Amino acid sequence: MALAWSMDKIGPICRGAEDCALVLNAIYGPDGQDLAVADYPFNWNASVRPSALRIGYAKSAFDLPERDPANADRVQHATKVQDDAALEVLQRIGAKLIPVELPQFSVGTGLILQPEAGAAFENLVLSGKVKEMVQQSAFSWPNTFRSAQFVPAVDYINANRARAQLMRQWWDLFQKVDVIVTPTGGAGQLQQTNLTGNPSVIVPNGFREAPPLGPGTSATPVTAAPRPDSARTLADTGRRLQPPTPSPRPQTPVSLTFLGPLYQEEKALAVAHAYQQATDFHLKRPPGFGT
């Protein structure tokens, strides 16, 4: 469905980075109906090695101390051990990591997303049918669509002016590197790439304990055979990374993000593919899901 037409994007969810490249190869490019789609080539090459690319890493995001799972400073809350192990894997497969800092941006995406969503669902609001939507709470889509009717046009225009400056900063950043690796959500990456359109490839990167359940909830603990921690397994074998030792608390997956320049998805996909060749997180299956 449409939500915010200048921020909406489409991409495949697949078993691995190479599968994503195969699907993207089938769906990229203009269809003659959406004038916002540019006619740029997609040149996927699975043999490109990390050593052939300039790979930056979001230093401040990786330097964060161990985080409280209740603190939403990252979307999927990888541990510091997992973050450090990911960088070690990249170095082992030939990446010469360059520290970079992502641009700072103080304007929230809501000033752009909210008016565009309100416009997309204007008929629903004006007809009164918005009251038929579920979850009529204070922070819900129905009320987002309603309140969007009162966002000043001046605010929307100024937010997009700031957005244009942010896009220029990201363009300049990718003159120095070909790919940037960051913990998913680190340094505001998810919000910023929503605004800039830079392609991202997000790959599984192990598991960690789920945050404690809230009052009045319960869950059956998930048990599994013990495994060595990520860093020791990597150092001892030099081959494949394993998830941290499971505990009685249920495990939740975490991920790693590879960012690329505009219209150059193949670069981020190449590094993500090489990373998956050196690890096996993407091969993990929940019990009962088979192969």
pLDDT value for 96: 96
pLDDT value for 67: 55
pLDDT value for 16: 95
Which pLDDT tens digit goes with each residue over 154-182? 999 999 999 999 999 999 999 999 999 99
pLDDT value for 248: 63
Q: What is the DSSP string of the chain?
A: --S-TTT-------SSHHHHHHHHHHH-S--SS-TT---------TT--GGGS-EEEEHHHHTPPP--TTSTTSSS---HHHHHHHHHHHHHTT--EEEE-PPP--S-THHHHHHHHHHHTHHHHHTTGGGGSS--SSSSHHHHHHHGGGS-HHHHHHHHHHHHHHHHHHHHHTTT-SEEEEETTGGGHHHHHHHH---EEEEEEEEEEPPPP-TT---PPP-------HHHHHHHHSS---PPPP-SSPEEEEEEEEE--TT-HHHHHHHHHHHHHH--GGG---TT---
Which pLDDT tens digit goes with each residue over 215-258? 544 444 443 344 444 343 444 444 455 545 445 667 788 999 99
pLDDT value for 209: 76
Question: For residue 231, which of 255, 264, 212, 206 has the smallest C-alpha distance?
Answer: 206
And the tokens for 134? 């579920």
Percent of the chain whose predicted confidence (pLDDT) is above 90: 56
72 pLDDT higher than 70? no
Angle at 176 between CA 171 and CA 181, to 5 degrees: 85
Neighbours of 162 (CB within 10 A): 15
18 pLDDT higher than 70? yes
Q: What is the mean pLDDT of residues 77-87?
A: 85
pLDDT value for 79: 80
Mean pLDDT lowest among 15-19, 81-85, 245-249: 245-249
pLDDT value for 252: 82
pLDDT value for 212: 62
What does the alpha-carbon distance between residue 181 and residue 58 come to, in Å, rounded to a whole number?
6
82 pLDDT higher than 50? yes
pLDDT value for 208: 82
Which pLDDT tens digit goes with each residue over 100-154? 999 988 887 889 999 999 999 999 999 999 999 988 887 789 999 999 999 999 9
Grade residue 78 by pLDDT with cuts at 50, 70 and 90.
confident
Q: What is the mean pLDDT of residues 88-105?
A: 94
pLDDT value for 138: 78
Spatial strand order of the sheet with 55-58 comes to: 97-100, 55-58, 179-183, 251-259, 200-209
CA 54 to chain centre: 20
pLDDT value for 238: 45
Question: For residue 273, which of 198, 192, 179 has the smallest C-alpha distance?
Answer: 179
